[in-house]
């Protein structure tokens, strides 16, 4: 199931590509997505102790935010993180996918919501969590949102909740 809309929202397209997203807000979206993915990274690392691809993807995403690596490098790291989750139990797989989505924000800013949605799914799939853990995780994510992008992300959650498995609804 795709988590990106069929028609791209201009608010998630950078100004230089014809949208309205500033570079500063693009970086904030990436930082928030990194925080979301990093929050569940232990769910992957506890399952697979010798695979560094999701952690490397988050390090690459941080390097992209700093301007130390080009978008193409970040984009390739997304594929590697996604591949790391193949065949794993849901909580580990979703944690790897969250890392892949977080680093993919460098390529397409709208992947920010993918990182958040997969993070919630990873938490919800954890057998040692209470039934409302996904909702608590969503609330934690919202607390992490920088003020400059808060309204944008909350509106994106409302608009794309149906293609993001309903994880953002109340």
For range 25-42, the mean pLDDT = 98
Sign of CA dihedral 148, 150, 155, 160: positive
> pLDDT category, 2, cuts 50, 70, 90?
low
98-122: pLDDT as tens digits:
999 999 999 999 999 999 999 999 9
Boundaries of every domain in the chain: 23-164
Q: What is the predicted pLDDT for the residue at 170?
A: 75
Residue 32 pLDDT exceeds 80: yes
For range 21-44, the mean pLDDT = 98
Residue 42 pLDDT exceeds 80: yes
63-97: pLDDT as tens digits:
999 999 999 999 999 999 999 999 999 999 999 99
- Picking from 59-63, 112-116, 124-128, 147-151, which range would have the lowest pLDDT averaged per residue? 124-128
Q: What is the predicted pLDDT for the residue at 54?
A: 98
Distances 52 to 39, 82, 92, 102, 114 between C-alpha atoms, Å: 16, 12, 13, 15, 20
- Which among 133, 132, 106, 134 is positioned nearest to 120, based on CA atoms? 134
Averaged confidence pLDDT in the chain = 95
């Amino acid at each position: 199931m795709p988590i990106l809309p069929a028609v791209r929202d201009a608010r998630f397209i950078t100004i230089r590509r014809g949208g309205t997203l500033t570079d500063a807000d693009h970086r904030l979206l990436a930082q928030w997505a990194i925080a979301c993915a990093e929050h569940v990274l232990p769910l992957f690392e506890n399952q697979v102790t010798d695979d560094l691809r999701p952690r490397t993807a988050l390090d690459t995403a941080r390097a992209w935010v700093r301007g130390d690596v080009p978008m193409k490098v970040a984009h390739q790291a997304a594929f590697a993180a996604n591949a790391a989750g193949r065949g794993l139990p849901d909580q580990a797989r979703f944690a790897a996918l969250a890392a892949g989505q977080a680093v993919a924000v460098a390529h397409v800013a709208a992947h920010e919501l993918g990182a958040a949605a997969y993070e919630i799914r990873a938490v919800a799939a954890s057998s040692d969590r209470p039934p409302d853990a996904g909702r608590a995780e969503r609330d934690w994510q919202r607390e992490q949102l920088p003020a400059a992008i808060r309204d944008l992300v909350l509106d994106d959650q409302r608009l794309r909740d149906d293609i993001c498995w309903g994880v953002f609804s109340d």
